[in-house]
Structure formats: structure tokens, C-alpha cells
Amino acid sequence: MVVEAMPERQSASVVLMFAGGSRQEDDRLAGVSHFIEHLYFKGTKKRPTSKEIADAIEGVGGFINASTDKELTAYWARVPAEHMNLGLDVLFDIIANSKLDPADVERERMVILEELRMYQDQPQDYVQNLFEELIWPGHALGRDIAGTEESVSRLGRDDILEYADAHYRLPNLVVGAAGSLDEASTISEVTRNLSLRPDMNGALELAPPLPLDSPRVLVRRRGTEQAHICLGARAVSYLDPDRYALDLLNTVLGEGMSSRLFLNIRERLGIAYDVHSFTQKHRDTGYLGVYIGVDPKKAVDAVNAVMAELRSLTEHEVAAAELARAKEFTKGRLRLELETTNGVVFWLAYQELLLGEINTIDDEIALVDAVTAADVVRVAAEVFSRPMQMSVIGPFSRDSAFRLAIGA
Amino acid sequence: MSAPASRLKNNGGTVPGRAAAERIRKAIALVNSVADEAGDEEITPTEIAEAIRDCLELSDVDAVPNVRRYLGEALDAVSDGMPADFVAMTLYAALGALREGS
């Protein structure tokens, strides 16, 4: 359990964060973690409908929600501080006492299938899914967190109950609380609510993805007005000491309106409407990717311009002023993220669950400050020497020009 | 000491890639007029192919990696009856490669 007293705040945020997400699912069970997350809001013995669950929290002006990720699933509530115990009660209630009514399973299956189809109609998001399929081919990390239409259609109530029983156990849980709270009474309240099974049902399996041996391009032909492109390469995990250098590399490259991609490709060349970079990190792998939203006629030109920016980062050290700006950007964003009780509780619970230790904000800032320009160019050279992968959605009937652009 | 003014002027020689860029721009304009259905005269695929071959005749296109290959892709796309937008995209890629390499 992680607790942070923030006595000057009006709110308290509580989170139940479980190790295990879509990465732990095999093809047959793809999407089950996300399915369970939806079902837990349908009703419990004490609060039999979703309305009663929502009313309990919204009745005091609070928020309740959940999210499923690839390596974790989180249920959270943010409430006025004096109602923190109510927040904990509702969260533990939905985790331990959900009815998982067969009719709700069928209704929610339809909702999730619609969600999957809706996502495919959003090319800016869907292109990232396709990119992750290329980055982690044949691996659960490369699959949509919500599963596939086939797997979601097939999942039975028994599969769901079995999976929930196996994964929603105490050893997989981190409870977090932050805000205007008393530490001792919070711990006591959490202890009173804990009714999950204390034993483990086997270790969580984390099969690493296989190495990539060549660059690849995946073009999905759609009659879109814009071309949507994701390109990038495998990068480091969240346990790797180079993760701070990777984050600064990403900031210099494509985060915000002072980044190289924005200034050179959008502002100077005027090629792309939207261009930015992003990272994703997991226990044993990660990637650095670039998204480009562009007029289809300029699609390959934009890819070439991005490739030139990547090459430049591998060949020349980032100037001192640019690196200093990137550090201030990173540190500032971290501080802003930790303004809210929700931000603090997620930050602490993530660290406890994924890293097994908790850095203070000062520790994190020191680690960011310790990165040198030589570190950034070294990490850039390592990342961009790996096989580039690129997904494209747009009105394209062949991929040869795209393959040429990334040497595939 | 600053360089003599005469040293800073263009001496009339060819800037590498400039001629190729001009010809590629002409080919793009031709293809775009087809894509936009602009102009009174109908532009045939043969005319577009000729414009691309004009680009390929210049030795400049070998000075920068991939320019010749993009132009070859564009020519193939014309031969295969691909949409004008696709041909334009490949020509823009050639022009961009020239820019990145110059």
C-alpha cells in the first residue's frame, strides 16, 4: 500500500491497481481484462445496478473510473476528502462483490464489440494499433487491449470468472491513497476492506517479444482525406537506466511545439499538419514512435523528412540549450502531473507495482538532470539502428515508395 | 576578415540538384493538374511519363540517394495506371529527398 498525505488539498484519490493486463492474456482470452473492468461497474450485491455504483460516488461530487493497460488494470475514485472511506468502500465492493450477471455479460459484449469497431473508424488511433502489431508481431503486446472481435465474441462467463479469480488476488494488488487524509486511519480502513484471496495462483507469465530482424511497412488502404502514419523502432523498457535519456530524446524530437519535428516539418517545411513523437515502455521492451497526419500527396515526403530528423539525432549531439530546455519541459510536466491527488496516487502506485520501489520527485529530477548530450546521442543511435517499422492508413494501393523511405 | 564580395556571389555554375528540382516540380504541376481536373487541355499519361523521363535524364538525380528510385517508382505508377495523386506523392518524395540530400 502507498499513502501520501497532502493536507492542504480538498480531495482524496484512491486507486486499486492490479498487476496484469492484456499482456497476460493468451489469444483465446484476448480482451478478458478489459471485459472484466467493464463488468465490474454493472452491479454488486450491495449496489445492484451501475446507476447505484455511480450514484454512490457522484452523489458526493466525486469521480469513479477504471482503465485497463497492457501490464496493469486500475480502478480509481476521486472524492472530497471527508468521503475517502466511501471511495474505498465502493472500489472494494466492485472488485470483490460484483454480480457478473449473465445478462450483463451479453450486454457488455455488444458494447465492447461496438467499441472495437468505433476504434477502427478513428484512423489516428487505429494506425498506432497497427504500428504496435508491427513492433511486437505475434505477441500480446502487439494486440489491442480490448482484444479482437473474434475473442470478445467467444469469451464465456466461465472464462471471465476463472480469469478474475486467478488475477484479482492480494499479491497482485497495490492500494494507493493520496490527499487530505490520515495515514493510520487510511491503512486501517483499507485493511478492513481487504477480502481478496491472499494466495497467488501461479506467477504472472511475461514472455518477452522476439527480436525484429527487418524493417517492415503495413499499408491499410482507406479513402481518408489525410494519410495517417506511425513509424518508429523498439526502444528501452521502464526498468532500463537509459529510460531518462530516451524520454529526453523523445522531448527533443517531437514533444510539444518547440520540438524538432514540429518546428522543422510543420512550421519550416509545412509538410504535415500534425507531427509528434511518443514512447511506450514495458517491463522488457518499449518503442519510440512518430505520428504524422499529412496530405496523402506529401506522405512519403513527410516520412523522408522525419527520417532525416532521426538521422540527425544519431549523428550530432543535442546542443546544451536544447537539452536544458528538454529537461525543464520534462521536469515541469512531472510537477504539473503531481498537482492533483489523482496524479500523485497513480504515480506512486505505478512505481510500487511496476518498479518495486518508489522514487521521490527529487530523485526523479536528479535522474533527469544527470542525462548528458552524449547519453542522448548514444540512445538515439541504438534505437534508430534497429529495424524501423511503419504503419500507414490512407488512399494508397501500393507500399513501394513507403518501403523505400525506411529502407524496407 | 570577411570574404571578398565576389566570392559570395553565384558564379553562374549549376547548384547541385537545382535543375532536377525544377524538372520534378514541372512534372508535379502536370500531375496535379490531372489530379485537380484543372485546365482545358487533357493531359495524357504519355505526357506525364515524358516529364518524368526528362527528370531521369539529369545526372543530378544520382547525386542524392533514392531520388532516381522515387522517379522510377513514379514512372512505374504512371505505366500501371495508378491514380494521379499517387504519382504526385512519389514525385513529392523525390523532390523531398533532393531537399534532404542537398
Residue ranges for chain B with pLDDT beneath 70 = 1-16, 38-41, 102
Instruction: Check residue A182 and give its pLDDT.
Output: 94
Residue A214 exposed, middle or buried by CB count within 10 Å (0-12, 13-18, 19+): exposed
- A4 forms beta bridges with A178
Q: Which of A304, A397, A398 sits opposite B93 (nearest CB)?
A: A304
- Are A379 and A242 within 8 A, CB to CB? yes
For residues A159 and A261, give the distance between their C-alpha atoms in angstroms, rounded to a whole number.
46
Residue ranges for chain A with pLDDT beneath 50 = none
Q: How far apart are the first and last CA of chain B?
A: 28
pLDDT tens digits, one per residue of A175-209: 999 999 999 999 999 999 888 888 776 666 688 99
Is A339 tagged catalytic? no
Residue B47 exposed, middle or buried by CB count within 10 Å (0-12, 13-18, 19+): middle
Asked if A400 reaches chain B (Cβ–Cβ under 8 Å), the answer is yes
Instruction: Check residue A52 and give its pLDDT.
Output: 97
Query: Which residues of chain A neighbour B100 with C-beta distances below 8 Å?
Result: 304-305, 308
Q: Do A296 and B96 make contact, defined as CB atoms within 8 angstroms?
A: no
The length of chain A in residues reads 408
pLDDT tens digits, one per residue of A344-374: 999 999 999 999 999 999 999 999 999 999 9
Q: Do A301 and B88 make contact, defined as CB atoms within 8 angstroms?
A: no
For residues B22 and B93, give the distance between their C-alpha atoms in angstroms, rounded to a whole number.
14
For the whole prediction, is pTM greater than 0.95? no
C-alpha cell read off for A283: 517491463
A173 SS3 class = strand
pLDDT tens digits, one per residue of B8-36: 333 334 455 788 899 999 999 999 888 77
Instruction: Check residue A42 and give its pLDDT.
Output: 96
Instruction: Check residue B5 and give its pLDDT.
Output: 37
- Active-site position among A4, A8, A25, A37: A37
Instruction: Check residue B102 and give its pLDDT.
Output: 58
Asked if A390 reaches chain B (Cβ–Cβ under 8 Å), the answer is no
Instruction: Check residue B7 and give its pLDDT.
Output: 36
The residue behind cell 476504434 is A119
Instruction: Check residue B11 and give its pLDDT.
Output: 39
For residues A7 and A12, give the distance between their C-alpha atoms in angstroms, rounded to a whole number.
10
Q: Do B96 and A305 make contact, defined as CB atoms within 8 angstroms?
A: yes
Neighbours of B38 (CB within 10 A): 10
Instruction: Check residue B46 and give its pLDDT.
Output: 93
Classify the C-alpha dihedral A152-A153-A159-A164 as positive or negative: positive
Q: Which of A300, A308, A395 sits opposite B92 (nearest CB)?
A: A300
C-alpha cell read off for A160: 471471465
- Are B49 and B56 within 8 A, CB to CB? no
Could you give the C-alpha distances from A264 to A273, A276, A292, B64, in angstroms and in order? 12, 11, 13, 20
Instruction: Check residue A63 and give its pLDDT.
Output: 97
Asked if B60 reaches chain A (Cβ–Cβ under 8 Å), the answer is no
Give the alpha-carbon dihedral of A131, A122, A64, A196, to 10 degrees.
-40
Q: Which of A294, A301, A307, A399 to mutate to test the interface with B (most CBs of B within 10 A)?
A: A301
The residue behind cell 472524492 is A79
- Are A35 and A152 within 8 A, CB to CB? yes
Instruction: Check residue B65 and give its pLDDT.
Output: 86
Give the alpha-carbon dihedral of A328, A331, A335, A336, to 10 degrees.
60
C-alpha cell read off for A26: 493468451
Instruction: Check residue B3 and give its pLDDT.
Output: 37
